[in-house]
Amino acid sequence: MSEHSPTYQPPPDEGLGIRYIDDDLLVVDKPAGLLSVPGRGPDKQDCLSARVQARYPGALPVHRLDLGTSGLLVLARSADMHRALNRLFATRRVEKRYVALVAGRMDAGERTIDLPLIADWPNRPRQMVDHAIGKPSLTRLRVVGYDPALDATRVDLFPETGRSHQLRVHLLAIGHPILGDELYAPPEVFARAPRLLLHAAFLAFFHPSTATELRVESGAPF
């Protein structure tokens, strides 16, 4: 299903995949196909934040993941903690790692993708590279391995900035769109997976209350 499709069919609620919880915050695994926060209209109210709030009233999402992306999402359990965590994300003091499966063979090693991004207004919600007026956007990439049977490369992605659709557009721009990406991949690459093969696998930051480092992991389901 596309992020701009009028039909929203969230996956069944099979319980919260809580990866970490204390009195201040939760880190929860979001399934692919579930909105992070409510959308417009009564048919888009089922979302991760609503499911968490049903069990933990007052929980507030600190950031979002795209509809098709699975993985770790942080929610604060008070307004003060929400402000503190927002500051960590806004000042890039949160370490993030995503896992993706992309089309084609990518040379082993690490590389940096430094391409400015801007909204593609006539084709919203798509984003695009624009060297003239795009906002600075930086992604570090590490090749994990190549699967010749799938003709696909598994990569670890480390976004240094948090632009909308950054990882998806950056990978498309270097010629390796993510499998199952309806917005950006060519039809053949989109059809090679039943979902967007992008997963938020790791988060690390210093807990605002304890000043100790919190590290949370979630294995990719693909």
CB 35 within 8 A of CB 51: no
What element of type H or E holds 202? strand 198-206
| Mean pLDDT (the chain, rounded) | 95
Catalytic entry in 66, 130, 151, 156: 66
Q: Structural domains in the chain?
A: 17-93+210-217 (3.30.2350.10), 98-198 (3.30.2350.10)
Question: Which residues sit opposite 199 in a β-bridge?
Answer: 70, 99
CA-based radius of gyration for the chain: 17
**pLDDT given for residue 5 in this prediction:** 55
pTM of the model: 0.94
- From CA 160, how far away is CA 138, in angstroms rounded? 5
Q: Could you confirm whether 66 is annotated as catalytic?
A: yes
Residue length, the chain? 222
Between vectors from CA 69 to CA 64 and to CA 70, what angle results, nearest 5°?
90
pLDDT at 63 over 50: yes
| 2: pLDDT strictly greater than 70 | no
